[in-house]
Amino acid sequence: MSENNKNGFDDLGKTISDLVTNVTKVVTESTEGLTSKLKVEKQKAEIRAEIGHHSRELSKYYETLGRNYYNDIVINKKSGTYTEVMDNIRTKEKLIELLNEKLDVLEK
């Protein structure tokens, strides 16, 4: 009878060991998956913040363009060339477009 008890305890020990191993494996896989998803979400948040920053700068360039246009056309006060402002606008628009494309890739 003690031999049966020993075998029973061995089986129970193996079962518990297998259970702990399986639970550890599942927790590890879940943690790795969650970590990976969090990294992607962090990247997306950083890109969105960068887009917001450049959008605000773009708005300032449009404001400058409008102010210069108003001064030149409406009150006939020359405020300089539009070339620099237009170059800045094109650059920011392209940068925002590229950041949005990068964000789209991460969201797929």
Tell which wins on pLDDT, 104 or 11.
104
pTM of the model: 0.64
Name the percent of the chain lying above pLDDT 70: 88
Residue spans per domain, the chain? 2-107
Mean pLDDT of the 49-68 span = 94
Residue 103 and residue 45 in contact, taking contact as beta carbons nearer than 8 Å: no
Pairwise CA distance, residues 71 & 65, whole Å:
10
Q: Quote the mean pLDDT of the chain.
A: 85
What is the model's pLDDT at position 1?
Answer: 46
